[in-house]
Structure 1
Amino acid sequence: MIATQKAPPPEAETGIDPHLRNLAIVVVLGVVMTVLDSTIVNVAITALGKDFDTSLSTIQWVVTGYTLALSMAIPMTGWSVRRFGARTMWLVSLGLFIGGSLLCGLAWSVPSLIVFRVLQGLGGGMLMPVGQTMLVREAGPSRMGRVMSIVSVPAMLAPVLGPLLGGAIVDHLSWRWMFYVNIPLCAAALLAAVRMLPRDTERDADARLDVLGILLLSPGLAALVYGLSEAGNGSSLTGARFLTSVIAGAALVIAFALHALRKREGALIELRLLRTRAFTTATGGFFLYSASVFGLMILIPLFARIVRGESALDSGWLLAPMGAGAMITMSVAGRLVDRFGGHWIAAGGAAIVLIGTLGLTTLDPTTGRAFIMGAMFVVGLGHGMIAPSLMAASYQGLPREAVGAATTGANILIRVGSSFGTAVMAVVLQIAIRHEVPGASGNLAEAASQHTADTPTLLTNAFTETFWWTAAILMAALLPILAVPGKAKAAES
């Protein structure tokens, strides 16, 4: 009798039912452009600076403002979903993103563009965690892998397609179309959400906002991400801006953790609910993996542009095979995770990514594009296995009321991890350049401009040394990944 009551419904065993499929379509439609906008503008920084006749350090805030707004909005997700409902927050967030996109396209000055990018980021920051929360609640444990493979699509393809789309728009259209292109797709997502999402039934009108928590965590994350972004953009690790931001951000995040653990109920993120081996190991592995793979995706275009002298669009194409590889393994990985658990699938994916990364450590100035694209295709095959596996594993053994906290916590760790990886790889590359190129300060443009016969070889050596660091971080990620509990063990707990 008990076993019969606990058995999942037939559709959970055989596949994704129409209601869950519609929900997944709504989430992917809404999230894809918000994630693309994290990278699409990067290739237009020069064009924006010329159009507005301003410095690079000023126009960089078009990217930084969006990133910081994303980081600050994520912690609000759990409380807002409890208080107003997932459907309501989805529609509000998507509306903010569409409005911000339109205003960005109409921007008349740099300050107005930065302000509108912040508005866009506030809406975009909540869409991914709200969408994940809706899908996890609907899917249940038996379909978690397949659902996470669907929601992983935007996150996997955005770093690859963003620079390509941005480069094509900048080369052939006005930069304003980078924002206008969001509007029709997101409007379709908004219409689909209105028609397909069920009315909110899980609302808690008494849910109170943890004001102290938001005052600690959101600025703390913003400061931490900003400091890491500064390091990624070439700032010195001993510079006042980097040190102040990172130390202040880390102190605020630690203070929030202590506050949340002491608070009996109503914390912005209920950290006590997340004291499970599955969540800790899966998100810890994802943090380190994100650092490694995002660092890799920064290094490849830099190598193409600095060492090989390729255009932004051509260098972006080197990342395209990664998306193709991920698409091949992603849907299969989701089904395997539902059947066998994510433990060995994630570990196998990490090993495949490691093989592709080790291939990049053998580059020389004459290495053909086919070899680099082949290595990135291998990385993509592993990437498509890791993302759905670890995302699904992080929810193992968690009660339904902990889904919001888990989703928020995981999104925060992934965002900080990607910023951390970008910063570490940029700093390691600078140090390697100073070591390899005589008289170089670590500045890429300065080192490349020396135009000696040995410069390409010396710069390539600096890049391959840095690829070894990405491989080392990836191997470190294997430790928590191997500790993720298997499906049978999770079911017993």
Structure 2
Amino acid sequence: MSDAPTLTRAQWLTAIALIVGGLAPIFDSTIVNVALKSLAADLGVQIATIQWVSTAYLLSLAISIPVVAWAELRFGSRRVWIAALLVFLVGSVACSLAWDAGSLIAFRVVQGFGAGLMMPLMQSVLMRQAGGRNIGTLMGIVSLPIALGPILGPVIGGGILAVASWRWLFLVNVPLCLVGVVLALRWVPGEALGARRPFDWLGFLLVSPGLAAVLLALSNSHDDGGFARPDVGWPLAVGALLLAAFTWHALRRGDTALVRLGLLRARELKVATVAMVFTGAALFGAVFLLPLFWQTVRGTDALGAGLMMIPQGIGTLVVRTQAGRLTDRIGPRWIAVTGFAVAALATAPFAFADASTSPVWLGIVLFLRGCGLGTVFIPIMAAAYTGLPGGDVADASIITRIAQQLGGALGTALLAVLLQASLNGGGTPVDAFHVAFWWATGFAAVSMLVALLLPVISRAERG
């Protein structure tokens, strides 16, 4: 079996430019989460109010994601990327200068809008440049910060809070954004992508508020009452109705829809999209549980909980290059199945862990879990782009990004509700976490079954 083809110099330089610029919004989304108690105390508000610092960012991000494909066609990749970086930079500086909770929440909306443009753009730019070759290797490079964000973000946030004001949580983004702009001017391609299409206003007014409403409902479900809360039921119903209406509209409008859902007729993209929902649930759901487990059951502080996540990050780093190369060699199916199997097996031990469980053993388990999760993103994303012409890549990036976002929100909401229900039912914190971790293990196991539907490259196709 021959080695996978190596990347060209242009592909390497573009990947570097995108990763440097993309680090800020990817880490920011999780860095801030560890600071909510500090923010509430400093700004003199309740946790329920300051929680909107995270919620507003998430909702704004969801609103901007669907416009990426249209914006790329209209303005070109480089202009959209730089504009998104500058919007995120302005939002970051403004957040660092916030004078009360209301202003901080408003500035987080600005940040979220820029971040929402960048996430799918990172993938689509490189996939078009790949021209159908080296997809696994490229995804292994460009998706690295996407996977590490939820893992290392809490560590960085806890470290900053240990030595400096919460305002530095936002100022740390400034150098990354500035360097990202300089690199993008040199190395991100800016050529026209083809025929422009008119902006789909009706589609935008359906899909963006629909996504925001669903994500708001899932976020509210973390509080007492879970899915029975009125502020969960109503947004969820409205959001589902808007998304159903957008689906009907997009399928009728075809290639001029804001998000071209007709692309889901391609089996590879369809299966990859479903798999990405479960991947989001398996990754972000457990990322929600693990810091709480360390703090509630093990008695660590926020920084200590973040540090305990480092083995998972190391595991993710170790496997990504080989996972990308193997995907290019043998296809995505068995790489993804293996990754999910490892993630499931490495999550299950937490369903037995308690305050006396060896931290060394838990560190080893987290390392293996990181290896599993670091493996699954690459083959799924590679499968999503299989056989797609360059003009369809941007829309495929949006579809998979939305799937991951919804999966992450749904997985986190389900685990939060299960955890709270167990506690309200009289169970001990340890018992409640055991129930939640069994469900997290189940997410990974179901994902493994879905991954069996991913394409596999035949020996003849591999040459």
TM-score normalized by the length of structure 2: 0.96
Q: How far apart, CA to CA, are the structure 1 residues paired with 2:319 and 2:219?
A: 31
- Partner SS state of residue 200, structure 1: coil
Q: Deviations over 1:420-471 (max 9, x none)?
A: 110000011112223343xxxxxxxxxxxxxxxxxxxx32122112111111
Deviations 1:106-132 (A, max 9, x none): 112222111111111101111111121
| Structure 2: 5+ residue stretches without partners | none
**Alpha-carbon distance in structure 2 between the residues aligned to 1:66 and 1:24:** 26
2:70–2:199: 8 Å Cα contact kept in structure 1?
Answer: yes
Number of the residue aligned with 2:124: 133
Identify if the C-alpha distance between structure 1 residues 63 and 348 changes in structure 2 by more than 3 Å, giving closer, same or farther. Answer: same
Give the letter aligned to residue 188 of structure 2: L
| 1:105 and 2:96 are equivalent in the alignment | yes
Q: Tell me the SS of whatever aligns to 2:256.
A: coil
Letter in 2 for 1:51: D
Residue 237 of structure 1 pairs with residue 239 of structure 2 = no
Contact 1:235 1:242 in 2 (8 A): no
Distance in 1 between residues matched to 2:459 and 2:127, nearest whole Å: 20
State whether residues 83 and 203 of structure 1, in contact with CA within 8 Å, keep that contact through their aligned partners in structure 2. no
Point out the more displaced range, 348-357 or 478-487: 478-487
Residue among 253, 257, 282 paired with 1:267: 257
* Residue aligned with 2:227, SS: coil
Q: Secondary structure at the match of 1:328?
A: helix
Aligned: 1:176 with 2:167: yes
How many Å apart are 1:364 and its aligned residue? 2.4
Partner of residue 32 from structure 2, selected from 36, 41, 60: 41
* 1:486 pairs with 2:460: no
CA distance in 2, matches of 1:193, 1:392: 24
Specify the alignment match of 1:142 in structure 2. 133
Matches for 1:360-371 after TM superposition, within 5 Å: 360-371=350-361
Distance 1:233 1:18 in 2: 50
Matched, 1:296 2:298: no
Alignment of 1:94 with 2:85, yes or no, is: yes
Q: CA RMSD in A?
A: 1.8
Match of 1:153 among 144, 147, 161: 144
Match of 2:391 in 1: 401
Other-structure match for 1:472: 442
Q: How does 1:9-88 map to 2 (within 5 A)?
A: 14-88=5-79
The match for 1:276 is: 266
The amino acid that maps onto 1:23 is T
Within 2, Cα distance between the matches of 1:55 and 1:363? 32
- Residue deviations 1:272-306 (CA, integer Å, cap 9, x gap): 12311111112211211211221111111111111
In the TM superposition, residue 234 of structure 1 has moved relative to its aligned partner by 4.4
Q: Distance between the aligned counterparts of 2:362 and 2:456, measured in 1?
A: 34
Identity among equivalent pairs (%): 38
Which residue pairs with 1:249 in the alignment?
239
Aligned length: 461
Verify: 1:461 aligned to 2:431, yes or no. yes
Tell me the CA shift for residue 20 of structure 1.
0.4
Q: What amino acid is aligned across from residue 154 of structure 1 in structure 2? A: P
Equivalence map 1:156-167=2 (5 Å) = 156-167=147-158
C-alpha distance in 2 between matches for 1:264 and 1:467: 42
Deviations 1:352-384 (A, max 9, x none): 111101122221231122222211111101111
Structure 1: 5+ residue stretches without partners = 1-9, 438-457
User: Highest Rg: 1 or 2?
Assistant: 1
Q: Decide whether aligned partners of structure 1 residues 490 and 139 sit closer, same or farther in structure 2, where only a CA change above 3 A counts.
A: farther
Q: How far apart are residue 201 of structure 1 and its match? A: 2.7
| Equivalent residues of 1:224, 1:250 under 8 A apart | yes
Tell me which residue corresponds to 2:417: 427
- Post-superposition Cα deviations, 1:223-247, rounded to whole Å, max 9, x if no partner, equal 1111111113445311100111111
**What is the one-letter code of the residue matched to 1:261?**
L
Contact in 2 for aligned 1:297/1:319 (Cα 8 Å): no
The AA in structure 2 aligned to 1:346 is A
Aligned match for 1:337, one of 319, 322, 327: 327
Structure 1 residues 145 and 297: alpha-carbon distance in aligned structure 2, compared to 1, 3 A threshold: same
Deviation at 1:98, TM superposition (A): 0.8
Q: In the TM superposition, what is the alpha-carbon distance from 1:489 to its structure 2 partner?
A: 9.7
